[in-house]
Amino acid sequence: QMQLVESGGGLVQAGGSLRLSCVASGSIFSINAMGWYRQAPGKQRELVASITSGGSTYYADSVKGRFTISRDNAKNTVYLQMNSLKSEETAVYFCNAAVQYTLRTVNYWGQGTQVTVSS
């Protein structure tokens, strides 16, 4: 029922910045948390950052101090500000939303947006 639409990916030079956006739409009940994952070719998908409806945040050690996740609950939108990007952070970045229904929590995923950091 829910759809996640991402934007903001693209090509950036090492040391540059990008801001990713993800908007949730559809049959929305209650989003407990939203987050960003990334997956480089040949590597497993990893959690980059997440934020709960209450504002608690999590960051992977590799991005602490450089990335900032934020959320606009009224718009069901999550952002990821990425600064000082490194070439090794080239990956497909996926938006995730954890939605609380009556009997279960369901995770929804966006289509992924390519971030390419050139050296």
Q: Per residue in 50-90, pLDDT tens?
A: 999 889 999 999 999 999 999 988 888 999 999 999 999 99
What integer pLDDT is reported at residue 21 of this predicted model? 98
Whether the pLDDT of residue 35 is over 90: the answer is yes
**Distance from chain centroid for Cα 93:** 7
Whether the pLDDT of residue 45 is over 90: the answer is yes
What integer pLDDT is reported at residue 53 of this predicted model? 85
95 with 78: CB under 8 angstroms? yes
- In order, the DSSP letters of 29-86 are --EEEEEEEEE-TTS--EEEEEEETT--EEE-GGGTTTEEEEEEGGGTEEEEEE-S--
Type of residue numbered 22: C
Interval 43-56 mean pLDDT: 95
Pull the structure tokens for residue 98: 């954890």
What integer pLDDT is reported at residue 95 of this predicted model? 97
What proportion of the chain, given as a percentage, has pLDDT over 70? 98
